[in-house]
Structure 1
Amino acid sequence: MQIDILTLFPESVDAMLNVSILGRAQERGYIAIRTHQIRAYTTNKQMQVDDYPYGGGRGAVMQADPLFRCWEHVVNTYGPGRTIFMSPCGRTFTQSVARELKAQYDHLILVCGHYEGIDQRFIDACVDEELSMGDFVLTGGEIPAMAVADAVCRMVPGVLPDAECFEEESHWDGLLEYPQYSRPAVWHDRAVPEILLSGDHAKVAAWRKKESYKRTMTRRPDLFANFDESKLTTKVERKILAQAKEEFAAEQAETSTEPEE
Structure 2
Amino acid sequence: MDEMTGITGFFRRQAKQWHEAKLRAFRRRGLGTDPAQSGVTIVELMVAMTMFSIFTTMFATAMVQFMHTSQRSLMRTQSATEVGTATMQISHFVQFAKGMQTANSADGKNQVLFVLLPGYAVGNQGTSEEQMNSDLCVRITYHTAQWAGGRMSDAGTLSWTSARLVSGATGPVTYDDSADAVFASRIINSPSATSPYNRDLFEVNGSELTFRPSDGATIGGSVIASNTDVIVTARNYDASSAIAQCVVMP
Q: TM-score, normalised by structure 2?
A: 0.22
Q: Which has the higher helix share?
A: 1
Q: Which has the higher strand share?
A: 2
Q: TM-score, normalised by structure 1?
A: 0.22
